[in-house]
């Protein structure tokens, strides 16, 4: 049995899981796994190498060699093969490709191993879609964040604009709806709360309120 504690934070796009996971990891002094950034980085790598997105074997091979690092203390930047890809992984084309890669079983298997390797002392906060259901079923605490679609669209819009990435609300609404449907309806590792997850609706909450809630659940669990 692996004794290293894992906190999983799953949920749909724009639910705030990335920000909440980063702040929670900082608070606890734990490592961070942004699993969506793995799917996104694989998409960047595949597009750059002109890999056919229908060639599942080649994509899985690429996923196994993915050399990715997160710089938690430098505003959560993401490095792929030594290159800062924090902005390029957030573009529309990469979001769509990442969502498509998420439906390929061979890719999920390859990334599964990569994700397990993030579990190191003193502990891990992992965010994504299937962290609590599939990748870390023995997690100490499982959180599932949700929020109303309109609120999630607004949040994603602000995030992109703040990063200097072009975005429009109607296109984002369409994109989030499409990705929600793809993520929830795929047969393998669909987006859904784990049976033992605490579900938090963040629509009317500020980020620091959500982090406080999560931290109080984690502290209770660590103390028991
Ligand atoms: O979380 P984020 O929006 O960055 O994830 C990008 C895409 O990667 C998602 O739309 C989803 O299809 C895929 N993904 C996944 N499983 C995860 C994390 C992300 O399938 N654990």
User: Fold for domain 1-30+122-224?
Assistant: Rossmann fold (3.40.50)
Average pLDDT value for the chain: 93
Ligand 1 atom 5 nearest Cα:
36
Q: What pLDDT shows up at residue 100?
A: 93
Out of 74-78, 141-145, 173-177, pick the least confident: 74-78
Structure confidence at residue 179 as a pLDDT band (50, 70, 90): confident
Indicate the range of 32-36, 73-77, 80-84, 151-155 predicted with least confidence. Answer: 73-77
For the CA of 115, the closest atom of ligand 1 is 21
Domain boundaries, the chain: 1-30+122-224, 34-121
Q: How much is the pTM? A: 0.93
Q: In terms of DSSP H, where are the helices of 31-168?
A: 35-48, 56-64, 92-101, 105-116, 149-162
Q: Do 8 and 196 form a contact (C-beta atoms < 8 A)?
A: no
Is residue 224 predicted with pLDDT exceeding 90?
Answer: no
Ligand 1 atom 10, closest CA: 99
- 97 touches ligand 1 (CB under 6 Å): no
Distance, CA of 191 to CA of 94 (rounded, Å):
19
C-alpha span between 147 and 102 (Å, rounded): 22
Residue 11 confidence (pLDDT) = 95
Each residue's pLDDT tens digit, 120-151: 999 999 999 999 999 999 999 999 999 999 99
Selected from 3.40.50.300, 3.30.1180.20, 3.40.80.10, 3.40.190.10, the CATH number assigned to the domain covering 34-121 reads 3.40.50.300
Question: Is the distance from the beta carbon of residue 128 to the nearest atom of ligand 1 less than 6 Å?
Answer: yes
Rounded distance from Cα 101 to ligand 1 centre (Å)? 9
Which segments of the chain are extended strands (E)?
Answer: 6-10, 31-34, 68-71, 77-80, 83-84, 124-128, 141-146, 198-201
Q: Is 175 in the pocket of ligand 1 (CB under 6 A)?
A: no
Measured CA to CA, the distance from residue 27 to residue 218 in angstroms comes to 11
- Per-residue confidence at 174, pLDDT binned at 50, 70, 90? very high
- Contact of 166 with 49, CB cutoff 8 Å: no
pLDDT of residue 151: 95
Q: pLDDT band for 71, please (50, 70, 90 cuts).
A: confident
The two domains 1-30+122-224 and 34-121 share their CATH topology (first three levels equal): yes
Q: Which two tokens stand for residue 15?
A: 């639910």
Over its C-alpha atoms, the chain yields an Rg (Å, rounded) of 16
């Amino acid at each position: 049995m692996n004794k290293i504690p894992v906190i999983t934070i799953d949920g749909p796009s724009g639910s705030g899981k990335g920000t909440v996971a980063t702040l929670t990891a900082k608070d606890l002094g734990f490592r961070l796994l942004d699993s969506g950034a793995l799917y996104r980085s694989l998409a960047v790598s595949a597009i750059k190498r002109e890999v056919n997105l229908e060639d599942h074997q080649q994509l899985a091979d690429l996923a196994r060699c993915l050399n990715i690092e997160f710089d938690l203390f430098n505003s959560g930047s993401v490095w792929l093969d030594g290159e800062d890809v924090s902005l390029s992984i957030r573009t529309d084309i990469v979001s769509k490709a990442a969502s498509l890669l998420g439906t390929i079983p061979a890719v999920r298997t390859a990334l599964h191993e990569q994700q397990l390797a993030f579990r190191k002392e003193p502990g891990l906060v992992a965010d994504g879609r299937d962290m609590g259901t599939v990748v870390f079923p023995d997690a100490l605490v499982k959180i599932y964040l949700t929020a109303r679609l309109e609120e999630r669209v607004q949040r994603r819009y602000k995030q992109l604009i703040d990063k200097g990435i072009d975005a429009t609300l109607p296109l984002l609404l369409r994109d989030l709806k499409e990705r929600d449907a793809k993520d929830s309806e795929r047969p393998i590792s669909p987006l859904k709360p784990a049976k033992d997850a605490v579900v938090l609706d963040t629509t009317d909450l500020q980020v620091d309120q959500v982090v406080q809630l999560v931290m109080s659940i984690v502290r209770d669990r660590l103390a028991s």
